[in-house]
Amino acid sequence: MSAHVDVAIASMTARGCKVAGAAMLDACANVLEFDIVEGDPQVVREVLDAQFKPSDLIVADHVPRVPSLFVSDMDSTMIMAECIDELADFAGLKPQIAAITERAMQGELDFEAALRERVLLLRGLSEGAIAECLATRISPMPGARVLVETLKAHGCKTVLVTGGFHQFADPVAEQLGFEMVVGNRLEVLGGELSGGLVGSITDSSVKKAVLLEEASRLGGGGAITLATGDGANDIPMIEAATYGLAYAAKPKARAAGDGWIDRGDLTSVLELLGIPRERWVWE
């Protein structure tokens, strides 16, 4: 470890950063903190990524602290699946729909057009497939409930905002402890999916708007906010947050964040915020 630290400090210094030192946090013994008094955050990211990959990282211009608002994506962030892909399996269309999902997540397709195309392919699927999918295919991401409940216990408001569907997000939010849910809704007619959606679309702009609106209610422009996500649809929200963290993310989302979680589970977020384990709310 010490050799990597020395190389990292030398590399940052050579690229114009002034590094005051580096030490393990007293409260979180697994966290190495670099005190950088001057320098380009992108240089810091690149150097630390090169020296400590895979890593969990946050870059901030102050000592990270507990946010007053936490807004998170759901699919492949708070749960271990893409709901629409798993639901498509019940219609025998998973490979076809999953391919569209992957391209949308990479930022290669217009989100709304890709969403409507996939939902249309599910037309005629029994409504009962949703409950079966929830029961058999949807599991929380490791550390998700501990993260949410710990942040709540420290006074943070928690919001689950998804480009997926309320039929999945509402029970997931209840299971994990989220206080608010924003998402899309599948239209059901006569016990079957109609191939359409009810209401307006929750896309990247809505995710960002939710974060900014809730932050304004909590404390105006001074509210400390945290956002987590993994795909292109999460980028505006991640960029708008005080701490935008990309979780096991696609390259574009990872590049947009103030940091990333590539190594640990979601409880790594708590460690990066400096919350000691004895103050976590365990399941």
Vertex 143, ends 45 and 50: CA angle to 5°?
A: 20
Q: Is 73 an active-site residue?
A: yes
Q: In this structure, are residues 207 and 231 in contact, taking their beta carbons and an 8 Å threshold?
A: no
Burial of 268 (0-12, 13-18, 19+ CB in 10 A): buried
Domain boundary among 17, 37, 53: 53
Domain boundary among 34, 53, 72: 53
CA distance 59 to 258: 5
Q: Is residue 105 part of a domain?
A: no
For residues 23 and 63, membership in a common domain is answered with no
Q: Is residue 88 part of a domain?
A: no
Beta bridge partners of 126: 192
Q: Is residue 108 part of a domain?
A: no
Q: What is the DSSP letter of 28?
A: -
pLDDT given at position 75:
98
Catalytic residue among 49, 56, 75, 258: 75
Supply 259's token pair: 């940091």
Domain count, the chain: 2
List per-residue pLDDT tens for the chain, 283 residues long. Answer: 789 999 999 999 999 999 999 999 998 989 999 999 999 999 999 999 999 999 999 999 999 999 999 999 999 999 999 999 999 999 999 999 999 999 999 999 999 999 999 999 999 999 999 999 999 999 999 999 999 999 999 999 999 999 999 999 999 999 999 999 999 999 999 999 999 999 999 999 999 999 999 999 997 668 999 999 999 999 999 999 999 999 999 999 999 999 999 999 999 999 999 999 999 999 6
For residues 12 and 145, membership in a common domain is answered with no
Global pTM? Answer: 0.96
Q: Is 35 an active-site residue?
A: no
For residues 63 and 24, membership in a common domain is answered with no
Q: Is residue 86 part of a domain?
A: no
pLDDT given at position 220:
67
For residues 160 and 35, membership in a common domain is answered with no
CA distance 200 to 230: 22
CA distance 233 to 255: 13
pLDDT given at position 192:
98
For residues 40 and 19, membership in a common domain is answered with yes
Other CB atoms closer than 10 Å to residue 94's CB: what's the count?
17
Q: Is residue 17 part of a domain?
A: yes
For residues 251 and 274, membership in a common domain is answered with yes
pLDDT given at position 1:
72
Q: Is residue 160 part of a domain?
A: yes
For residues 22 and 150, membership in a common domain is answered with no
Q: Is residue 178 part of a domain?
A: yes
For residues 221 and 149, membership in a common domain is answered with yes
Q: Is residue 121 part of a domain?
A: no
Catalytic residue among 73, 85, 258, 262: 73
Q: What is the DSSP letter of 139?
A: -
For residues 4 and 37, membership in a common domain is answered with yes
For residues 19 and 69, membership in a common domain is answered with no
Q: What is the CATH number of the domain that holds 151?
A: 3.40.50.1000
For residues 34 and 163, membership in a common domain is answered with no
Q: In this structure, are residues 202 and 161 in contact, taking their beta carbons and an 8 Å threshold?
A: yes
Q: What is the domain extent for residue 240?
A: 56-81+139-283
For residues 164 and 48, membership in a common domain is answered with no
Phi-psi map region of 192: left, alpha, beta (phi>0 left; psi -120 to 50 alpha): beta
